[in-house]
Chain A
């Protein structure tokens, strides 16, 4: 495994380095996914451009109506952030169940997004918060995109070779909103999601005024369960309604049988976890 490794200190410097040999170079943040692919011989970039030492890509900021998480912020910093824990509990649920502390101390949120695994834990929470992402290209032009439009296939995104993901922008929740993430895995830690379900509910008393549901590992990309969301809208929160919602969500996804599980079983878990995550979001709102 032979490669050059550069440590730029600014975004501009990183993008300039990328221009030198765009095809054979890769941006790398924590590297906890990229180095695995390299060690397994799946990819062999000649040059790695590290994003770890760029101050502008680090930190969690309270900006007006939004919380902005810079792309190279390690997952563990996000999990320990009180801002994240109180505003985005589903994201917190996902972070503390990801990999190990060792990996979370190094791996980044931007990396988890760009790696675009259909099983990525942070993605269904970010989808139910309707997160946006900021991308910069090599002419330093910035654009903002809905995260839900970013994924185009397993491990495939709209990001091209000359672009860099710089920020994740999440709108602060209203006080009548709460969320939760449920992850089905074979062991209690160090495991990928067999099924991941995030639910974000907005309630007026007992009435669900808005529901957002994000699913991972049950489609080629992380998805929103729009049919289920529409069904839940304006319904009175009840066991029967949640049961029906689970049944709709189960038919709305398209899991395959793979190393993580059997398709019909994943569907069953989706139905159960839509109910459980909804109930947990509801409970949190009542606290």
Chain B
């Protein structure tokens, strides 16, 4: 067992891990954060996506031991004070959630994408959104609503910026 400390959804945490554990294992088993889903376990489906130091990664392939000193955001850290985030609301409003298994990963990939744009939403095309989410597979909605959610969110933010909101 090795002790590691890192930031998890904004709080400093510590835990004991085995060297052969992956990040998804400690999130689900040690911290009971079961919003992070394991789909394929092979880095193909993106259901296990979390954000590590601003980057979306597959937690099923990320050694837990490498998380020492890093900043991790899971789906549980996206809503603040019981309020859904803008991204989550956009998913709800556009009917982008069906079975929900891919949703945490989709939301986190969207978050990494939007945060990286840092309010520079001009010329963001549907194709850019598709590329940003290409590592997340959905087997229910057929992607259309998910892509629409992100598009609507970007449009909303863009018009808020233009009107000085």
Interface residues in chain A, defined as those with a beta carbon under 8 Å from any beta carbon in chain B: 1-5, 7, 31-32, 35-36, 39, 48, 50, 52-53, 76, 96, 99-103, 105-106, 188-190
Contacts and interface: CB of A to CB of B under 8 A. Distances in A.
Contact of A102 (B19, B130, B135): B135
21 contacts: A2-B20, A5-B63, A7-B65, A31-B61, A31-B63, A32-B58, A35-B43, A36-B61, A39-B41, A50-B66, A99-B43, A99-B135, A101-B112, A101-B131, A101-B132, A106-B61, A188-B130, A188-B134, A189-B130, A189-B131, A190-B137
B55 A36 contact: no
Contacts of B62: 31, 106
A102 B63 contact: no
Given A102-B135, A103-B43, A105-B56, A4 B19 contact: yes
A102 B46 contact: yes
Contact of A36 (B22, B43, B46, B131): B43
A256 B12 CA distance: 53
Q: How big is chain B's contact interface, by range?
A: 20 to 34
Contacts of B61: 31-32, 35-36, 106
Contacts of B15: none
A5 to B, nearest CB: 4
Given A2-B20, A4-B19, A102 B57 contact: yes
B49 interface: yes
Contacts of B93: none
A106 B137 CA distance: 19
Contact of B20 (A1, A52, A53, A76): A1
Contact of B134 (A50, A52, A101, A105): A101
B109 interface: yes
B65 A190 contact: no
A99 B137 CA distance: 12
A101 B58 contact: no
Contact of A105 (B19, B41, B57): B57
A3 B55 CA distance: 26
Given A102-B46, A102-B58, 15 more contacts: A5-B65, A31-B63, A32-B58, A32-B61, A35-B61, A36-B43, A96-B131, A101-B134, A102-B43, A102-B56, A103-B43, A103-B135, A105-B57, A188-B130, A189-B131
